[in-house]
Structure 1
């Protein structure tokens, strides 16, 4: 991982060779990038289809998140530190605050071998003065 990104991103976790997988909650948001076959993301018994090469932003503060497929999955989970996601996905923070149990579909065709470049290009200093307060509201929600 690029040194600049280490301030905001905790880890890139590869989830491979499972048909079902439960994400470990991290008290923050996670981006899931599906690298192969379609699968389902389950949040509080609600099912969301995650298609090949699609990425979603999810709230992983305290709700259990499961991933399942009829075939072995190949997904990358990007775990952020603190308010980290707001520096990359500020435009989605309000939406996630109002729909905390639903994933937000953010993009298609993010290549795993280009994650550093992708996140460096997405990085934007926050324009909102109370950006971090939105993250705190999600924790309380």
Structure 2
């Protein structure tokens, strides 16, 4: 289990300057070593847990992007270390997203109530093999 702490005033001020908002800043918990440097234009509501964003992610085609949160709304979410989530016009709600994940250009991701897709079950949704993607 990870140890989380509350955001400090300097981190809240930096997030605000980077066009981030929160329904309640006291409901955002972060891991030790967290830095808000790579979180911009992000809205938070509900209970939020954030990891660190310190690595660069290489995408197919060789493009490199810094991990972080860019132009996204999160509600009741936990985001693992070094994930890249960007350009979510609507929101992501009630999800636990692991480390080293890449989510981009999705309108809405949400779950509520009971589900049939395995809540709290870790799965690999895509496997990259020899330059082509193969669904699992």
Q: Into which bin does the TM-score normalised by the smaller protein fall?
A: under 0.3
Larger radius of gyration between Structure 1 and Structure 2: 2
Which one has the bigger helix percentage? 1
**TM-score of the two chains, using structure 2 as the length reference:** 0.27
Larger RCO: 1 or 2 (CA < 8 Å, sep 6+): 1
